[in-house]
Structure 1
Amino acid sequence: MNKSLFFRLLAASATLLTLLFGLVWVFPVYWMLVTSLKSDTDTTLLPPKLLPSPIDFSAYTYILANSPILRWYANSVITSLVITALVLVLALLCAYALSQLEFPGKPWLYWIILAGFMIPFQASIVPLFMLMNKLGLVNSYAGIVLPQLASPIAVVIYKQFFDQVPRDLGDAARIDGATEFRVLFSVYLPMNWNITWALAIVTFIAAWNNFFWPFIVTNSIPMMTIPVGITQVQSAYGIAYAKTMATAVMAAFPTVVAYLLFQRRVTEGIMATAGLK
């Protein structure tokens, strides 16, 4: 076998393997969508139908009419947008201070933030819930939002980008009389819009999909977010795969749309972080 044929076979094998992995990733999404368009009877047929015949939207209409899914949607939109905005603002201010300002204890503060990577969120669930309960924030937007505002990764990424901005630009703005806030929002932030967009989309998707903490801190059905609401659909309708999958499709739709609309900016941000040292 000559070398040219070997590399062609290798390329073909790699392509085939990539297609196989892609199919493994895509098929569950396809099956969720197809199942949501079947009747309850068709979802239990053996062998299962790979295509819905006929297409049945009754699961969607039933969920919209008989569950508070629109309220769950509103809760998810409100909490996800607030979390995204506050995470970006807090990370932006913290990263700028760590990168450009001098103050006592700065290295220690940065190490404490890095240590946050080593503490899983699940380890702090009990004390967080006790704190929210004492503050009267259980079953409230504040109770859902506040514990999700700590984002060490956003601080670290912003800091690394701010470290790469030439200090002369900030010094020139300060000589012209700009305050530190003006330097941040007029010099440093405009130079890092790509990573800001990427962090915003990733944070929004993570907040939207977060199940564990909203499940812990909300026991009132009207205050639940959409991922938690899916469990209520499962509990209410039992083995009703079409209704459960219809709820899952409606829950996933906003994040899919958000990613597709801002895919280029997210990709640019990820590619930019790949060059960080």
Structure 2
Amino acid sequence: MATTTDRSTRTRVGDGVSAAAPARTDPTKIRSPRTFNIVAGIVLGVFAFLWLIPSFWAIKTSLVSNETASLGADAILRSTDPTLASYATLLQSGQIWNWYLASFVTSAGTVVLTVLFASMAAYALSRLRFRGRKLVFVLILAGIMIPAQVLIVPIFQLLDSFSLLNTYWAVIFPQVPAVIAVFIFKQFFDGLPKELDEAARIDGAGVWRTLWSVIMPLSRPVIAAVSILTFVTVWNNLILPLFVLSNPDLMTIPVGLATVQGSYGQRFADIQASAVLGALPLVILYLLFQRRIVEGVAGTGLKG
């Protein structure tokens, strides 16, 4: 005859319920997310602090007079009389407005063309089947390993042969073939269901109609992310505009800041004020669209 303990642990076939004790949850699996969040918060806090130090110093220096700034760090930190004289000097000179215009035109033009061509290339690599597709993708990714500085002389010679030097196109065209943009678009397209293409094909849509009417409307997060990342990259580019532009009216923000640093000499407050004004549009842009950037980059990890 079975004992009471045996009966309590026996499976009751009629009820289909097992009397066995439930498995215990590993306490380390509960604490691990909290530990990770704490460590991640500390690391991010350290990086944020290191990033804010030069930003604080630039703003602090720009709010003192050039005479105070020339006295050194102690005089800058002890200064309790902030002034906007450096900002007023830069804004009244009119140069920075030309820099803003040139940077905006080149950045916006590059964004439009990059999104257009990168999305088409990514769609072909993600959805179309043709011979050598994987090899083409590998060759495109290999472009990441080529430093941009190595291509400056060939790009300069090519632009000169087409008489494009000292034009906005000289800054826009070389930056349109963005490998990282193709990669981000392809990863996002890989995460979209293939049934979307099949449904569009059944309705009679071709490749172009499927891309522009079905895929692109669903790709707004990644379009926003690529647009913002491209805009920031072009806005901060110094080497290319420095080589292909010699007209002062066409100078972009980085080139203009370089000329300011060379011509202002010991006017450290004016130099820091110009740096703050040059970075201000990017800070505003990121604060307005930071959620779009996170959504777009995170969406590249989806798999269908």
Both structures adopt the same fold (TM-score exceeding 0.5): yes
1:175 aligns with 2:189: no
Equivalent pair of 2:166/2:247 in contact (CA under 8 Å): yes
Assess, with a 3 A threshold, how the Cα gap between structure 1 residues 190 and 17 changes in structure 2: closer, same or farther. closer
Instruction: Choose the corresponding residue for 2:169, options 133, 142, 151.
Output: 142
In the other structure, the counterpart of 2:82 is 55
User: Do residues 101 (structure 1) and 115 (structure 2) align?
Assistant: no
Give the drift of 1:158.
Answer: 1.1
Q: Name the amino acid aligned to 1:168.
A: E
Counterpart position of 2:142: 115
**Counterparts of 2:42 and 2:208 in 1: how far apart (Å)?**
53
Percent of paired sites with the same residue = 40
In 2, Cα distance between equivalents of 1:115 and 1:222: 36
Query: What is the deviation of 1:275?
Result: 5.1
- Structure 2 unaligned regions, length at least 5: 1-33
Q: CA RMSD in A?
A: 2.4
Match of 1:5 in 2: none
Aligned twin of 1:72: 99
The one-character-per-residue Cα deviations of 1:124-183 (angstroms, maximum 9, x if unpaired) are: 111111111121111110111110111111112211221222222111112112232221
Q: Which moved more, 1:175-184 or 1:260-269?
A: 175-184
1:206 aligns with 2:233: yes
* Residues 13, 99 of structure 1: alpha-carbon distance in 2 compared, 3 angstrom cutoff: closer
How far apart are 1:224 and its partner, in Å? 0.7
Q: What CA distance in whole angstroms lies between the structure 2 residues aligned with 1:139 and 1:193?
A: 34
**Contact 1:60–1:247 (8 Å) recurs in 2:** yes
2:15: which partner in 1? none
Indicate which of 32, 48, 62 corresponds to 2:58: 32
CA distance in 2, matches of 1:104, 1:13: 47
Deviation at 1:108, TM superposition (A): 3.1
Tell me: CA distance 1:34–1:103, structure 2 relative to 1, closer, same or farther (3 Å): same
8 A Cα contact 1:37 1:52, kept in partner? no
Within 2, Cα distance between the matches of 1:225 and 1:59? 20
Q: Which amino acid aligns with 2:192?
A: V
CA radius of gyration, larger in:
2
Separation in 2, partners of 1:41, 1:273: 51
Please name the residue that 1:127 is paired with: 154
- 2:75 alignment partner, SS class: coil
1:222 matched to 2:222? The reply is no
Distance 2:161 2:303 in 1: 42
Cα offset for 1:82?
Answer: 0.5
Q: Does 1:235 align with 2:256?
A: no
* Distance in 2 (alpha carbons) for counterparts of 1:73 and 1:51: 33
Aligned length: 270
Greater mean deviation of Cα atoms: 81-90 or 186-195: 186-195
